[in-house]
Amino acid sequence: MREGGVEAGERIRMAVQKSGRMAEDSIGLLKNCGLHVDRSKDQLFCRIKELPIDLLLVRDDDIPGFVADGICDIGIVGENVFAETQSGGGAGGAIILERLGFSRCRLSIAVPENGGIDGVAALNGKAVATSYPHLLQAFLKTNNVAARILMMTGSVEVAPRLKIADGICDIVASGATLTANGLRELTVVLPSEALLIRAAQALSPDKEKTVQRLLARMRGALLAADSKYIMLNAPRAAVERITALLPGCDAPTIMDLNRHDMVAIHAVCKETVFWETMEKLQEAGASAILVLPIEKMTA
């Protein structure tokens, strides 16, 4: 159903981060789903034409609550933020619909290099600074550690240097921030990635249909981003060995060539094709190897 280029029907509301580390990838994923997001003006609200979806561009911390309270039907948020809100009892009305695989990072406890804290148990009686008090408290409880939690909303990594805490519990990605601050990762509290979350309560049939359509497109877009189309020529005698080397590919197409001893193999690889794989394919006798990006595919 289309009305003047806008898809008709009851519209769903989707919350995404307005600006920050997840904003570009979230909007990029929507674009790969064929949805155009016009963020040209400094607006908090954006109407999508291709599906009945309205975007709410907000701070990531608000997203779990908005979805749990029914202000939004779905949202994209980091697992760290979602888990912290849930751990604090604040997002009971929201559930995970899909793991999206981007914005990967981890919530970790870190301590000063050569500071004498060599394990989780050594945190007993110490102070740990964090913006994730609920997740840290749950972790300490599970590990029977009695440490004091110092709540900080930013610049957590400077707390040990300022002598206001013995360690920190914060987000780590490359680890460069820890190194720059003379800290070392002691343990991972929570691995994190971007999540698509939805309201736990049933939506109207119209809204449910849109959520499922969007989900199918997202799965297809994520799969296409990870997948490659690979074409190569192979000696007939090496087909088994070569197809076994193709990453994440279950049914390659094998075609006769004008030469009796050679075949062409075409396959969709649902995993990254590394240079190492290309080299192994060559060693196994493959030639004329082509690896092509895939624009769209269904899951």
60 touches Zn ion (CB under 5 A): yes
With CB under 6 A as the contact rule, which of the stretches 114-122, 166-174, 226-234, 242-250 interacts with ligand PRT? 166-174
Q: Which of 16, 17, 228, 230 binds ligand PRT (CB under 6 A)?
A: 17
Residue written as tokens 């291709």? Answer: 50
Are the beta carbons of 214 and 97 closer than 8 angstroms?
no
Q: Which segments of 62-184 does DSSP mark as H helices, in order?
A: 63-68, 79-87, 133-142, 176-180
Are the beta carbons of 17 and 100 closer than 8 angstroms?
no
Structure tokens at 31: 């674009």
Structure tokens at 230: 């690979």
Map residues 152-181 to x or -, x wherever contact with Zn ion holds by CB under 5 A.
------------------------------
Strands 12-17 and 6-7: unpaired
Four-point Cα dihedral 202, 205, 206, 212, nearest 10: 70
190 touches ligand PRT (CB under 6 A): no
78 touches ligand PRT (CB under 6 A): yes
Distance between CA atoms of residues 192 and 299, nearest Å: 23
111 binds, among ligand PRT, Zn ion, none (CB under 5 to 8 A by kind): none
Amino acid at 256: D
75 binds, among Zn ion, ligand PRT, none (CB under 5 to 8 A by kind): none
With CB under 6 A as the contact rule, which of the stretches 39-47, 55-63, 224-232, 246-254 interacts with ligand PRT? 55-63
Provide the minimum distance between the beta carbon of 61 and Zn ion in the complex, in angstroms, as a whole number.
4
Which are the contacts of 145, defined by CB distance < 8 A and separation ≥ 6? 120, 121, 123, 124
73 touches ligand PRT (CB under 6 A): no
170 binds, among ligand PRT, Zn ion, none (CB under 5 to 8 A by kind): ligand PRT
With CB under 6 A as the contact rule, which of the stretches 49-57, 168-176, 204-212, 279-287 interacts with ligand PRT? 168-176
Provide the minimum distance between the beta carbon of 174 and Zn ion in the complex, in angstroms, as a whole number.
19
Structure tokens at 152: 């900080």
Total residues contacting Zn ion (rule CB under 5 A)? Answer: 2
167 touches ligand PRT (CB under 6 A): no
Nearest to 211 by CA among 56, 6, 17, 74: 74
Q: Which of 10, 25, 61, 206 binds Zn ion (CB under 5 A)?
A: 61
Binding site for Zn ion (CB under 5 A): 60-61
